[in-house]
Amino acid sequence: MDPVRVRFAPSPTGHLHLGSARTALYDYLIARKTGGQFILRIEDTDRKRLVEGAEEEIYKGLRWLGLDWDEGPDIGGPFGPYRQSERKEIYQQYARELIENNHAYYCFCSPERLNDVRLEKQKRKELAVYDGTCRRLTLKEALGRVAAGEKHVVRFKTPKSGTTTMTDLLRGNITVENRMLDDYIIVKSDGLALYHLAATVDDHLMKITHVIRSSEWLPTAPLHCLIHRAFGWQEPVWVHLSVFLKPSGKGKMSKRDAAELIKDGHSIFIKELETLGYLSEAVLNWVALMGWSYDDHTEFFTKEELVKKFSLERLNPSPAAINFQKFDYFNANYIRMLGDVELANMIKPFFDSVGIKADLPTLIKIAPIIKERLTTLDDAIEMAGLFFKPFPDLSPEVLLGKDMSREESRSVIQATISIFSDLPELSKDLSETKMRETVEALGFSAGQVFGILRMAITGQKVSPPLFESIEIIGKKVVMERLEKAQKLLQVE
């Protein structure tokens, strides 16, 4: 495949989410695979909807995901500027060209009148498109009114008859009747272009070969083709990706749904995923497989493998419900692939954030025993907090072994104390070997004995493996805890 030039063109009006991340990923993959360019373009022509910090969030999110771009607002490039708000004059120039070639016209109708027209048409169950009042004006007349300072927009002159056929890579030919297409506004009264014009002009000027975007754009794609053709430009290859549906499969994710998700420790926003304890590798792998597949069984891919194996032809056009269980599965697996030092460094910030002082050397020792027990990194707090937090006050009841009396339980602890005190150190192997021998002699089951010890030593009913934990906690503290538990069980 020839090198492609693709662009990821988000608008800084909200958070970077999973859907955009996937689009960006596919852009990145096909660019890297073909040795082409991945371009970042900020579509900020709507000044009213701008959200402070949103552009920065896009950069951060893409960087976290490891999707580096070749041209963009921050790094420049041969086709800049890459922020549409800085390209106002370019769009106006092209709008003028369209007007001169009779493919666009000035419109002086007020928003109020437009709204009335729309409502009226809807009431009569007609197509709610512009009624064409200003389309009938002569160019001379319109120019006069513009010169007189009258407020105006520019509309694209869509053909009123015939059909327009475009080709989408995943869906084949799509034909629409031109009368269904509106005379869309392409330049607002503030002089800034709307998406339809801005994106079309930029895609051409930036030599974009493949437009990969959400299928929400499908209904207006014929319009974009028409604009390309009006200029006499060659169209890019159109690739409309399926949309992501909420987990229930009932519709797109709404603000409300997103807020609900957080309660389960999930999110569709990239910036939250990191603090929730997800790995960017897992995000990439998971999201890549929602709408794309390689074969009937491979499902773990590094970014490098994705670059090698990705192809537009294997994209799936049908909408996909987001499945967070699968995401967790991927994340748990990617955590397990981490090295001990790497994992320790990654969970450290989570302890810091809740005010638990966890030192790196200990975390490195803990890493191997909690690794396969974590779904997300923040699970480490619950899993390994016991190694750093003060020991809890226990009641005698929780120290009782299953079906065992108080005295029996106490004797188990007593026996352990005498065995442990003879050992130079409580290494995992040594303590476990000794205790396994003892279990039989004591006449209780391993479950009973180790259950008591787990509670006495870790202070928890559920913990990482007992003897590994003992080694990490260290002989001194272990002995103290055993003594304390033994006293607690003495009948008063």
- Per CB under 7 A, contacts with RNA among 443-482 are 446-447, 450-451, 454, 461-467
Q: Which stretch binds RNA (CB under 7 A): 62-70, 181-189, 273-281, 358-366?
A: 181-189
Active site residue: 123, 250, 255, 476, which one? 255
348 is catalytic: no
Angle at 54 between CA 53 and CA 59, to 5 degrees: 100
Burial class (CB in 10 A: 0-12, 13-18, 19+), 294: middle
Contact between 332 and RNA (CB under 7 A)? Answer: yes
* Cβ proximity to RNA, 4 vs 435, nearer residue: 435
- DSSP letter string, 316-374: --S-EE--HHHHHHHHHHHHHTS-HHHHHHHHHHHHHHTT----HHHHHHHHHHHGGG-
Q: Which stretch binds RNA (CB under 7 A): 72-80, 211-219, 272-280, 419-427?
A: 211-219
- Alpha-carbon distance of 488 to 122, in angstroms, equals 80
Contact between 328 and RNA (CB under 7 A)? Answer: yes
Contact between 316 and RNA (CB under 7 A)? Answer: yes
φ and ψ of 128, to 5 deg: -85, 60
- Alpha-carbon distance of 177 to 128, in angstroms, equals 15
475-489 and 466-473 helices cross at what angle (nearest 10)? 110
Contact between 81 and RNA (CB under 7 A)? Answer: no
Contact between 176 and RNA (CB under 7 A)? Answer: yes
Cβ partners under 8 Å of residue 50, min gap 6: 12, 13, 44
Q: Which stretch binds RNA (CB under 7 A): 262-270, 309-317, 409-417, 419-427?
A: 309-317
- String marking each residue 108-147 x if it binds RNA according to CB under 7 A: -xxx--x---x------x-xxx------------------
* Cβ proximity to RNA, 449 vs 489, nearer residue: 449
φ and ψ of 425, to 5 deg: -155, 155
**Chain residues 15-54 in contact with RNA, contact rule CB under 7 A:** 43, 45-46, 48-49
Contact between 314 and RNA (CB under 7 A)? Answer: yes
- Alpha-carbon distance of 268 to 253, in angstroms, equals 9
Residue showing tokens 């896009």: 58
Q: Which stretch binds RNA (CB under 7 A): 59-67, 72-80, 266-274, 311-319?
A: 311-319
Q: What is the 8-class DSSP label of residue 4?
A: P
CB atoms within 10 A of CB 428: 16
Q: Which residues pair with 72 in a beta bridge?
A: 76
Q: Minimum Å distance from CB 491 to RNA?
A: 26
In order of 196, 231, 232, the CA distances from 175 in angstroms are 19, 20, 20
Of the candidates 21, 120, 60, the one whose C-alpha atom is nearest the C-alpha of residue 271 is 60
Considering only 92, 323, 362, 414, the residue that binds RNA (CB under 7 A) is 323
* Cβ proximity to RNA, 273 vs 332, nearer residue: 332
Of the candidates 130, 135, 93, 91, the one whose C-alpha atom is nearest the C-alpha of residue 111 is 130
Of the candidates 271, 385, 265, the one whose C-alpha atom is nearest the C-alpha of residue 328 is 265
Contact between 195 and RNA (CB under 7 A)? Answer: yes
Q: Which stretch binds RNA (CB under 7 A): 64-72, 75-83, 246-254, 275-283?
A: 246-254
Helix (H) or strand (E) holding 237: strand 237-241
- String marking each residue 219-238 x if it binds RNA according to CB under 7 A: xx------------------
Q: Minimum Å distance from CB 257 to RNA?
A: 11
- Alpha-carbon distance of 365 to 101, in angstroms, equals 73
- String marking each residue 265-294 x if it binds RNA according to CB under 7 A: ------------------------xxx-x-
Q: Which stretch binds RNA (CB under 7 A): 74-82, 210-218, 274-282, 302-310?
A: 210-218
Contact between 242 and RNA (CB under 7 A)? Answer: yes
Considering only 123, 263, 297, 476, the residue that binds RNA (CB under 7 A) is 297
Considering only 245, 337, 394, 430, the residue that binds RNA (CB under 7 A) is 245
Considering only 325, 357, 397, 422, the residue that binds RNA (CB under 7 A) is 325
- String marking each residue 395-434 x if it binds RNA according to CB under 7 A: -------------------------------------x--
Known catalytic residues?
A: 255
